[in-house]
Amino acid sequence: MIWRTLPMWSGSTVFVIGGGPSVAGADGCLPYPLRLRLFNSNVIGINNAGFLDPGVDILFFGDRKWYEWNKDRVNLHNALIVTSHGSFEHFKRIKYLRRKTGSGFNSRPPSLMWNRSSGGSGIALAVALGAKRVVLIGYDMKLYKTKNFHKEHREKNPMTNPFPRFIKPFYKMKEEADQLGIEIVNTTPNSAIVGFPFVPLTEAIEKWTSQI
Q: What are 80-101's pLDDT values in tens digits?
A: 999 999 999 999 999 999 999 9
Residue 192: CB atoms within 10 Å? 16
Confidence band, pLDDT 50/70/90 cuts, at residue 150: very low
Distance CA 157, CA 50 (A): 21
Predicted pLDDT at 107: 80
Under DSSP, the state recorded for 140 is -
Distance CA 55, CA 78 (A): 9
| C-beta separation of 174 from 195 below 8 A | yes
Strand 133-137 relative to strand 183-186, pairing? parallel
Confidence band, pLDDT 50/70/90 cuts, at residue 26: confident
Confidence band, pLDDT 50/70/90 cuts, at residue 145: low
Under DSSP, the state recorded for 158 is P
Interacting residues of 155 by C-beta distance below 8 A, sequence separation 6+? none
Q: Chain-wide mean pLDDT for the chain? A: 92
Distance CA 149, CA 130 (A): 28
Domains of the chain as residue ranges with CATH: 13-208 (3.90.1480.10)
SS (H, E, C) 14-52: EEEECCCCHHHHHHHHCCHHHHHHHHCCEEEEEHHHHHC
pLDDT at 212 over 80: no
Confidence band, pLDDT 50/70/90 cuts, at residue 161: confident
Confidence band, pLDDT 50/70/90 cuts, at residue 74: very high
Predicted pLDDT at 149: 45
Predicted pLDDT at 71: 95
Distance CA 133, CA 16 (A): 11
Residue 188: CB atoms within 10 Å? 23
Q: What are 10-21's pLDDT values in tens digits?
A: 999 999 999 999
Percentage of the chain beyond pLDDT 70 is 92
pLDDT at 27 over 70: yes
Distance CA 26, CA 149 (A): 10
**Dihedral (CA of 170, 83, 62, 70) sign:** positive
Predicted pLDDT at 15: 98
Q: Average of pLDDT values for 40-47? A: 98
CA angle, 46 as apex, 41 and 49 as ends, to 5°? 75
pLDDT at 148 over 60: no
Q: What are 181-208's pLDDT values in tens digits?
A: 999 999 999 999 999 999 999 999 999 9
Percentage of the chain beyond pLDDT 90 is 83
Interacting residues of 146 by C-beta distance below 8 A, sequence separation 6+? 21, 157
